Structure 1
Amino acid sequence: MFPTTIKHRKKSHELLAYEALFRRILEQYRQHEAIVPEYKREKAGYDGERNVDYKLSTYPHKDFFIFQGIRLKNSPFFFQIDTLILTKSVIYILEIKNQKGTFNYDSEQRQLTQIVDGTEKSLKDPILQAEAQRGHLLGWLARHGIFNIPIETLVVVAYPSTIIENVREDPDVYKKIIHNESLHQHLDRLDSRHTRDKLTTTSLKKLCQALLDGDTPLRTDLLRQHNIGPQHLINGVPCQRCHQYPMKRLYKKWQCPNCSAVSTRAHERTILDHFLLHDITLTNRQCRELLQVDSPRTAYLLINSMNLSRSGNNSARIYHSPLINDFPQSSTIPVTFKNHFAKQSLD
């Protein structure tokens, strides 16, 4: 009765990397004004998308197949769609906006402005953004031999508290920029316009698989972006209870010298954070430096316990990062954000 989600939304590499950064960066930099706002922006985008995901999951239409976030290559460029919906008769692109305050959209100037707490700023035209994604998707579909299926676009404002002002009172705008709460009604309206099947069940399944195979999550280098070096990062394995570091490796387990917490798997988060922040590979030597252990044998046993893919043999062995979509989604970070960001230097 309800839609089928083919690809569930996962945190982006950027959001996962920010969470890893808060776990790895020295405490005095965790409230840095260049880092916190960017993390909050990324987190707000994810939360807004999840809001729309829930609303869409309750839409009573069993023949909808949903991709919650997908990034594809339309050579030589990549394009990202917040939510993609496939049916046999039509494809939907949802461009999700999570900003709060008041949106003023001018359909003649093709301009969107946002007002929050008396401050006004200009944003990209979301209708043009959605249409650009439509053009990229048409090119991608053509490369896969699909030419005749219509594509509809909607800009979905995630939060009901956001006010949408249609400056020119353009009736078409009311059909393009919508609140999440009215998503079902607009899907009903569009669905009624597309009653003839363009895809067979077999071709739809093939298209779903091609989309999954083509999904290429973006990887972001936060350390370079924020000019963060080794001197800004902690050494060793932090305690997941009190966040002090480093934990000590004693008798096949980790023990915190501050609160005496014990863990057998504390190294796993540290290694995964390395993959998010530094590199997609790890050697035994790098593992020893990362975990602050001396024994190559200990490092070997710890890495092997994570069942990571690997290549090479003996001293040349390299361990490889999981795929971005396979990373844990839990988000424990050792920081509570202040209302005013501390003005600090990372020099």
Structure 2
Amino acid sequence: MLPEIPILMEQYRALLEILPEQHPEYPNMLTYYRRQEAGRKGEDSLCYYLEQAQVPSLHLLNGLRLEHPSSFQLDWLVLGLGFRAIFEVKSHTGEIYFDAKSHQLTRTIAGVTEGFDDPLLQVDRQYAKMRTFLSDHVIYQLPTYRFVVFVNRNVILRLHDYPEYKRVLTAQQVPSILEALAEQHPPVISEEANQAIAHFLVNNHRERMASILEKHHILWDDLIKGVPCPNCSRRSMNRTRMRWQCEYCDTRSTDAHLPVLYYLALLTGNQLTKRLVQSFLQIESGEATRKLITRAGYVKFGVKKGVYYSHPYILAATKNESGHKSQKSGHKTIESGHKIYKSGHEI
């Protein structure tokens, strides 16, 4: 499964929802999230140009992340019947210069120059890992081209003395590049085989999930507890007669806790404990806490003191193989009729 929003990006968004703005790390987390968001928008903007290519039977895979044995991720992988292409997307603006001798990219904006790693070396390393992955899984190899694409219209590329200039593109060049490659490489595999390869790759996709609280030295006690009101956003709603009630605007809700559960699932590596949930929902009964978790469709793992609960969507996205067998909680996960919160939506 290739999710619309990467799990790592959802983790940072979840953290921003329950991290106080006064926390010293809040500005850094906001900057980090916005940087991820800009990168994602850049990848999304390339989709339009990829789809403009007049080439039949192309499969376009965005954000594919494979582990074999170490992980690698491709911004865009294009699977054709006679060729393949990898596109590394950059959203830089300003004046870009590629230095062939130092293998460095420099960007100049308003007289300020910054240095970055050569993205062509990056995409070449990704290709080498993908080639090994395909070979070890006995998947037919095809000529594979690697490009870096700058999607910001305000970028200025200085490539006059760069020997690999043909592999550095603007987004508008992508359709014609794909059409030229298709003409150069006629089909050698069938549409059915190409579709099967795409399906296999997607099935082997593994989303990255990081321990971001530990990484940024943020304590659980630093986070905001309580269930926010879905109407006025104030905390904390009170649990009364199996409903949540806001003491500020009198809004009542049966599922206001679902966003909090999902945020906690993202921040715990998808291993919710009853004690942690009870603390963040601020309810007195441990048994009521357990019922809220299981009725929300979370999957139970472990026994006795080792019990934890996982969100089924995150399980599917990360392909997280637990050492414990799933136990029946009395409620089905997806087909239970209960709402399961994911990124502000029900699934």
TM-score between the two structures when normalised by the length of structure 2: 0.84
Does 1 or 2 have the higher relative contact order (CA < 8 Å, sep 6+)? 1
Taking the aligned partners of 1:302 and 1:176, their CA distance within structure 2 comes to 53
Q: Residue 312 of structure 2 aligns to a residue in which SS?
A: coil
Corresponding position: 1:266 with 2:256: yes
Matches within 5 A, 1:211-250: 211-250=201-240
Equivalent position SS for 1:68: strand
**1:318 to 1:221, Cα distance in 2 relative to 1, 3 A:** closer
What is the 5 A alignment of 1:80-95?
A: 80-95=73-88
Question: Which stretch has the larger CA shift, 15-24 or 144-153?
Answer: 144-153
On the 8 A contact 1:310/1:320 being kept in 2, the answer is yes
Aligned: 1:190 with 2:181: yes
Equivalent residue runs for 1:330-341 within 5 Å: 330=344
Q: Quick check: 1:178 aligned with 2:169?
A: yes
Contact 1:160-1:181 at 8 Å conserved across structures: no
For 1:284, the equivalent position in structure 2 comes to: 274
CA distance in 2, matches of 1:52, 1:329: 24
The answer to whether the 8 Å contact 1:25/1:233 transfers is yes
Shift of 1:9: 5.1
Closer, same or farther in 2 for the Cα pair 1:313/1:74, shift >3 Å? closer
SS of the residue aligned with 1:246? coil
Deviations 1:222-265 (A, max 9, x none): 21122111232111212244332221112322222233333221
On the 8 A contact 1:221/1:277 being kept in 2, the answer is yes
- The match for 1:65 is 59
Deviation at 1:300, TM superposition (A): 2.6
The answer to whether the 8 A contact 2:105-2:116 is kept is yes
2:308 to 304, 307, 318: 318
- How high is the TM-score relative to the length of structure 1? 0.84
| Inter-CA distance 241–116: structure 2 relative to 1 (3 Å threshold) | farther
Greater CA drift, 32-41 or 18-27: 32-41
Per-residue deviation, 1:32: 3.3
Instruction: Give the superposition deviation at 1:67.
Output: 1.1
1:137 aligns with 2:127: no
Is the CA contact (8 Å cut-off) linking 1:64 and 1:87 kept in structure 2? yes
Residues 13, 220 of structure 1: 8 Å contact kept: no
CA RMSD, aligned part only?
Answer: 2.4
Q: How far apart in 1 are the matches of 2:307 and 2:104?
A: 54
Task: Assess, with a 3 A threshold, how the Cα gap between structure 1 residues 59 and 9 changes in structure 2: closer, same or farther.
Answer: farther
% identical aligned pairs: 25
CA distance in 1, matches of 2:182, 2:303: 56
Structure 2 CA distance for aligned equivalents of residues 257 and 305 of structure 1: 25
Q: Which amino acid aligns with 2:41?
A: D
Where does residue 342 of structure 2 map in the other structure?
Answer: 328
In the aligned structure 1, how far is the partner of 2:154 from the partner of 2:2?
Answer: 26
Q: Is the 8 A contact 1:22 1:30 kept in 2?
A: no
The code of the aligned residue for 1:64 comes to: L
Aligned amino acid, residue 291 of structure 1: L
Instruction: Report matched runs for 1:31-50 at 5 Å.
Output: 32-50=26-44
Query: Would the alpha carbon gap of residues 154 and 23 (structure 1) be closer, same or farther in structure 2, given more than 3 Å must change?
Result: same
What residue identity is the alignment partner of 1:125?
D
Change (3 A) 1:24 1:268: same
Report the number of matched residues. Answer: 321
After TM superposition, the structure 1 stretch with the greater mean CA deviation from structure 2, 221-230 or 54-63, is 54-63
Deviation digits for residues 272-331 of structure 1 (CA, Å, limit 9, x no counterpart): 101111232123333212211112332233112221222346776431133444973449
- Runs (5+) with no aligned partner, structure 2: 319-340
1:344 alignment counterpart:
none
